[in-house]
Amino acid sequence: MSRTLARDLHSHISKSVTIQGWLHKKRQLGAIAFLVIRDRSGLIQVVIDEPKEQAKLDGLQVGTIMEVTGTVVEEPRAALGAELHQPTLTILNPILDVGPIEIDKQIDHKPENLETLFENRVINMRNPKEGAIFKIQSAVGDGIREYLKSQDFTEFHSPKLLAEPTEGGAEVFKLDYFGKTATLAQSAQFYKQIMVGAFERVFEFGATYRAEPSMTTRHMTEFITVDGEMGFIESFQDILDILSGLMNATSDHLWTHCAPELAMWKATKPVLTAKLPEVTLKELHALVLKETGQDFTKEKDPTPSEERFITEYSAKHWQSEAVFITGFPASEMKFYHYQSPTDPEVAVRADLIFRGVEIVTTSQRENSYPKLLEQLSKIGDPEHPGFRYYLQAFKFGLPPHAGFGLGLERLTQKMLGLNNVKEATIFPRDTGRLVP
């Protein structure tokens, strides 16, 4: 048996082929039965007029695994441009139960329905439009990886089981580790900086854990971060250029490889400049005050409404749906940030806002051992095991470097135009959800 996939059906017109897949839909019109069979590449319509073949379907439900041998007939009204006639059916795995949802129906992503969506994920991922989200997520990952490799970045894997918390102790998951306490990594920050010492340019696709009790459209307790770090930068601009390149390359990769899946969601290709525009926080506050009358000038971070505002503004005036916000106050930064000698009050940091949401945060790091030690000593003990090994990398030489963290699910979400990051996560985790 040589199996033909849905996507290849059109090249077998008038020939006999064998397909395999799930019974996706069944409809009786008078003496004729119409089946839709789903395989990994699409949906195939099968027309059955033989009563003997129709009888094989008695009592069988959607999900039944079957093989169909029949003749491919051109049919302009079918999505594939062809359908199967005169079929012979073989039931490979009969399904007798009616599923909790109709796989054939488009799934509603209204906020009030999301919990039902996640609860039924095992089945609703079989809806082609729903499954498309995760094909696209896979391609987002490919696009990013391909681009970073083209820029000479090396991929690595850092451990997620850590000795003791260093940053933000309250939001860390703790576990018993053979009688000691271990914690789950909140970021790959220290590891990626350490790796710069050997490989200069590194990245990781890694799980990130946050014991944050926030239930928002942006937060989860487990998610995938693309962590990148780059040594021997001439200036902070180098990492912004990498991120501009990454956004453009990933968007191009997606629209080259996932056109049918993107079309299902009516996703529009992001409008992006080769070099993404930049706006300072101060300029943003002033713009918002001028254009909307809202006064956020005392805020040390852009507000969610400002993130939405600047995307629209940037799309209209700067031809880019992604925009860097710079000019954050240095006082808000972590101990490892690089203090600019010319403007010590302003952080060498940027947030990348894409379609209304922050998807990347990036900054330059302090690479001088004495300066880092001084900055660390204000907030923690350099002999703490969580800092000791990290500091070795600096004591024995790190070049000027900057890095970024990019949320894979958030980028997928915004490429598709979804409202909640969990819609772009196949099995989301939050304070209330550990299943499926």
Applying CB under 8 A, does 395 fall inside the site for a second copy?
yes
- Mind spelling out the 3-state secondary structure of 251-312? HHHHHHHCHHHHHHCCCCCCCCCCCCCEEEHHHHHHHHHHHHCCCCCCCCCCCHHHHHHHHH
Using an 8 Å Cβ cutoff, are 126 and 103 in contact?
yes
CA distances from 241 to 15, 216, 231, 235, 298 (A): 52, 31, 14, 11, 30
Applying CB under 8 A, does 333 fall inside the site for a second copy?
no
Choosing from 15, 105, 129, 157, the residue that interacts with a second copy (CB under 8 A) is 157
For CA atoms 74, 76, 80, 85, give the dihedral sign.
negative
Q: Which residue has the tokens 């916000």?
A: 325
Residue 109 CB, shortest distance to a second copy, in Å, is 17
Cα distance between residue 133 and residue 264, in whole Å: 10
Applying CB under 8 A, does 126 fall inside the site for a second copy?
yes
Using an 8 Å Cβ cutoff, are 97 and 64 in contact?
no
Applying CB under 8 A, does 71 fall inside the site for a second copy?
no
Applying CB under 8 A, does 249 fall inside the site for a second copy?
no
Binding positions for a second copy, 334-373, rule CB under 8 A:
367-369
What's the start-to-end Cα distance of the chain, in Å?
36
Binding positions for a second copy, 9-38, rule CB under 8 A:
20-23
Cα distance between residue 250 and residue 148, in whole Å: 10
Applying CB under 8 A, does 158 fall inside the site for a second copy?
yes
Binding positions for a second copy, 196-215, rule CB under 8 A:
197-201, 205, 207, 209, 211, 213
Applying CB under 8 A, does 106 fall inside the site for a second copy?
no
Residue 314 CB, shortest distance to a second copy, in Å, is 30
Applying CB under 8 A, does 237 fall inside the site for a second copy?
no
Cα distance between residue 173 and residue 82, in whole Å: 53
Residue 337 CB, shortest distance to a second copy, in Å, is 17
Applying CB under 8 A, does 155 fall inside the site for a second copy?
yes
**Of 48-56, 57-65, 70-78, 347-355, which segment contacts a second copy by CB under 8 A?**
57-65
Applying CB under 8 A, does 58 fall inside the site for a second copy?
no
Choosing from 107, 163, 286, 373, the residue that interacts with a second copy (CB under 8 A) is 163
Grouping H, G, I as helix, E, B as strand and the rest as coil, residue 394 is helix
Applying CB under 8 A, does 397 fall inside the site for a second copy?
yes
